[in-house]
Amino acid sequence: MSLFLHRLRQMARMMVGMPDYDAYLRHMAEHHPERAPMDRIAFFRERQEARYGGKNGGKCC
């Protein structure tokens, strides 16, 4: 059940283009341990700009 809710939450966030922050941390720890990862707020802002900045082709009709 909690897995289901977790998925649902992830799906809702991904519907508005917000990937999982924990997955990002895991990726950084595994592949770039020497670099400091963005904190949660910086990550949120970076992703928001990336989605809505206009270079992603916009929305569908």
Partner 1 sequence: MTRHIPWILIAIVGAAALSVVAVSRGEAVNALWIVVAAVSSFLVAYRYYALYIARTVMRLDPSRATPAIRRADGLDYVATDRTVLFGHHFAAIAGAGPLVGPVLAAQMGYLPGTLWIIAGVVLAGAVQDFMVLFISMRRDGKSLGELIRMEMGQVAGTIALFGAFMIMIIILAVLALIVVKALAESPWGMFTVAATVPLAMVMGAYTRWIRPGRIGEVSLLGLVGLLAAIIYGQSISLSPVWGPIFTFTPLQLCWILIGYGAVASVLPVWLLLAPRDYLSTFLKIGAIAALAIGIVIMAPPLKMHAVTQFANGNGPVWSGGLFPFLFITIACGAVSGFHALIASGTTPKLIASEAHAPMIGYGAMLMEAFVAIMALVGASILDPGVYFTMNSPAAVIGKDAASAAAAVTAMGFPVTPDLILQTAKDVGEHSIISRAGGAPTLAVAMAEIFSHVVGGPAMKAFWYHFAILFEALFILTAVDAGTRAGRFMLQDLIALAVPSFKETKSMAPGIVATALTVAAWGFFLYQGVTDPLGGVNTLWPVFGISNQMLAAMALMLGTAVLFRMKQDRFAWVTMIPTAWLLICTLSAGFLKLFSADIAVGFLAHAAKFSTAAAQGEVLAPAKSMAEMEAIIFNDRVDAGLVAIFLFVVLAVLFFTVRTCLAARKVAAPTAREIPAQLVPAE
CB 47 within 8 A of CB 19: yes
Binding residue for partner 1 (CB under 8 A) from 11, 33, 35, 36? 11
Angle between helices 40-52 and 21-31 (to 10 degrees): 110
For residue 61, the minimal CB distance to partner 1 (Å) is: 4
Site for partner 1 in 19-58 (CB under 8 A): 19-20, 23-28, 31, 40-41, 43-58
Residues 25, 36: Cα–Cα separation, whole Å: 10
- Per CB under 8 A, residues contacting partner 1 are 7, 9-20, 23-28, 31, 40-41, 43-61
